[in-house]
Structure 1
Amino acid sequence: MTILVTGATGNVGSQVVEHLVKRGADVRALVRDPSKAVFPAGVNVVQGDFLDIDSLRNAMSGVSTLFLLNAVVPDEFTQALVALNVARSAGIERIVYVSVIHADIYVNVPHFAGKFGVERMIEQMDFKATILRPAYFIQNDLMIKDAITGYGVYSMPVGDKGLAMIDVRDIAEIAALELLRREQAAQPLPLSRINLVGPDTLTGTDIAAIWSDVLARPISYGGGDTAAFEQNLKQFMPPWMAYDMRLMGERFLTDGMLPEAGDVERLTTLLGRPLRSYRAFASETAAAA
């Protein structure tokens, strides 16, 4: 019984691999370049790519449970659909898929809409899956660390509706627990969705106040200008991705990213501990600077 982890060298996937190995799972990791992959002993590393069908078939051969994580790329939707079709041909029923919270609401945001399409395919193909729907990753704010510490401005377009930000480390641990739950079940378990949220729902002003406390100097919130946000992002990401992120930010401002009743309690029970907070992240980041 083997669990295949895709996106295995990324921030989430690499931690999923570590959690699975610690818990004694038989893990196979799909990577583009094995020479750059560093995993715990015992991990079976296979080279492949979502658009290299033969390599994908090889990677999925003999696999019982699949962790499907697709990067935000122009052909993300195609990559996911190819992976699901190859998985079905390989006889894989048990899947944990990383989608995004409110994928069915942020319908104009390309990478949200793509993930919602993948969710629909999972349902239509009758996979026995857990669909993880994470909110905004706390660690995304590392992108603007210099703006916070150097210029005293928190510039993410969070707005005043609030985001239920979650720590990447919690996402990875929950994903590993769900993979093991499905892998170890005597029969494939029915489809379920889990919103992955943090313990607090924070506005832009709330987050600036946290940074002010942590850094012991005033940090202001300046994230309402999504056009400026897009221009800043274009300095280090492709224009299409910067625009995608701008559209997401505009939905933050109008809709927020709010948990549903019981989400925090469900995750706390699943982990057996409290969720990591944004304040803890800010304190760790400041201490490491």
Structure 2
Amino acid sequence: MTILVTGATGRVGSQVVEQLLKRHADVRVLVRDPSKADFPEQVEVVQGEMLDIDSLRRAFKGVSSFFLLNAVAADEFTQALLALNIARESGVERVVYLSVLHADRFVNVPHFAVKSGAERMIEQMGFSATILRPAYFIDNEVMVKDAMFDYGVYPMPIGGKGIAMVDARDIAEVAAIELVRRDRAPGKLALETINLVGPDTLTGSDIAAIWTEVLGRPVNYGGDDPSGFEQTVANFMPKWMAYEMRLMAERYVSDGMIPEAGDVERLTRILGRDLHSYRDFATRLAGAI
């Protein structure tokens, strides 16, 4: 049985492919540019994109399960709904969908609202699905490393309530485990939602303290005002996306992104190991300087 992976060349998708191969799954990927698809030879590559109906139909032909990852984009919702409809048209009913933690609560943030809508469609369309809801990715912190390394400031406005940032490696491994579990099940499994979080819930000040220790020099938290953060990220992403990141940061400050009771323990059981921590990430990134 073949498992289709979308978003396969990104940070999470590429690791999902790797984890699936470790579990001896037959893997197909949908990619825009096959020349940039650096996968082992046993991975079947289909050229196309999420808005190309013909390539979606080719990608889903003969597939038994799929991993649906839609990157933040202006047409993200359309991409998700097209993929779900073509999957159903193709007789594919088993899916693992990468959503976001608090998708149903942070609905003023566009990509949260999109993922909440896609979750509803998955449920209403009757898929055998696992909804993965990751917290903010630890790996995204690479975007702000220069501010910490060069200026001694942790600039991400995440507030004082705390965020349980999650490592992309943990996301990918749980996704692969769920894909294989659903793909190899003798019948249709019930819809399930899994919160993907890190082992520690950290505030802005907590993270600055970790970097101070790891770098051996003071790193200060830049504060809760998201306006400067929006201006900074607008230098390397579209302004609409930078504003969306600001809206997300405002919800971090007001609400936090805190695990539910038992989330960490559940993930530890699924993975059979400890979760990767923020301190581990900071140490690795600092060592790469």
Shorter chain as denominator, the TM-score bin is over 0.9
Q: Cα distance, 1:48 vs. partner?
A: 1.0
| Residues 21 and 40 in structure 1, CA contact (< 8 A), matched pair in contact too | no
Query: How many corresponding residue pairs?
Result: 289
Which amino acid counterpart does residue 265 of structure 1 have in structure 2?
E
Query: Aligned partners of 2:206, 2:168: CA distance in 1, in Å?
Result: 20
The alignment partner of 1:27 has SS state of strand
The alignment partner of 2:145 has SS state of helix
Partner of 2:246: 246
Kindly indicate whether residue 16 of structure 2 is the aligned counterpart of residue 12 of structure 1: no
The alignment partner of 1:232 has SS state of helix
Q: Cα distance, 1:224 vs. partner?
A: 1.4
Q: Calculate percent identity across the aligned residue pairs.
A: 70
Query: Aligned partners of 2:288, 2:174: CA distance in 1, in Å?
Result: 26
The alignment partner of 1:64 has SS state of strand
Partner of 1:26: 26
Partner of 1:207: 207
Query: Aligned partners of 1:216, 1:41: CA distance in 2, in Å?
Result: 44
Partner of 1:67: 67
Partner of 1:53: 53
TM-score, with normalisation over the residues of structure 2?
Answer: 0.99
Query: Aligned partners of 1:40, 1:251: CA distance in 2, in Å?
Result: 40
Query: Aligned partners of 2:279, 2:19: CA distance in 1, in Å?
Result: 24
Kindly indicate whether residue 161 of structure 2 is the aligned counterpart of residue 161 of structure 1: yes
Which structure 2 residues correspond to residues 31-50 of structure 1 after superposition, within 5 A? Answer: 31-50=31-50
Query: Aligned partners of 2:265, 2:206: CA distance in 1, in Å?
Result: 22
Query: Aligned partners of 1:269, 1:130: CA distance in 2, in Å?
Result: 17
Query: Aligned partners of 1:16, 1:40: CA distance in 2, in Å?
Result: 13
Q: Cα distance, 1:40 vs. partner?
A: 1.7
Which amino acid counterpart does residue 12 of structure 2 have in structure 1?
V
Query: Aligned partners of 1:26, 1:194: CA distance in 2, in Å?
Result: 24
Deviations 1:64-119 (A, max 9, x none): 00100001000000100000000000000100000000001101000000000000
The alignment partner of 2:63 has SS state of coil
Query: Aligned partners of 2:106, 2:169: CA distance in 1, in Å?
Result: 25
| Residues 18 and 40 in structure 1, CA contact (< 8 A), matched pair in contact too | no
The alignment partner of 1:114 has SS state of helix
Root mean square deviation, CA, Å:
0.6
Query: Aligned partners of 1:175, 1:158: CA distance in 2, in Å?
Result: 26
Q: Structure 1, unaligned stretches of length 5 or more?
A: none
Partner of 1:127: 127
Partner of 1:217: 217
Deviations 1:38-70 (A, max 9, x none): 012300000011110011001000000010000
Query: Aligned partners of 2:234, 2:202: CA distance in 1, in Å?
Result: 26
TM-score, with normalisation over the residues of structure 1?
Answer: 0.99
Query: Aligned partners of 2:59, 2:29: CA distance in 1, in Å?
Result: 8
The alignment partner of 2:270 has SS state of helix
Query: Aligned partners of 1:238, 1:198: CA distance in 2, in Å?
Result: 29
Q: Cα distance, 1:37 vs. partner?
A: 0.5
Query: Aligned partners of 2:203, 2:121: CA distance in 1, in Å?
Result: 34
Query: Aligned partners of 1:48, 1:181: CA distance in 2, in Å?
Result: 27
Query: Aligned partners of 1:284, 1:148: CA distance in 2, in Å?
Result: 15
Deviations 1:236-280 (A, max 9, x none): 000000000000000000000000000000000000000000000
Which amino acid counterpart does residue 265 of structure 2 have in structure 1?
E
Q: Structure 2, unaligned stretches of length 5 or more?
A: none
The alignment partner of 1:236 has SS state of coil
Show structure 1 runs of 4+ deviating over 4 A: none
Query: Aligned partners of 1:46, 1:172: CA distance in 2, in Å?
Result: 21
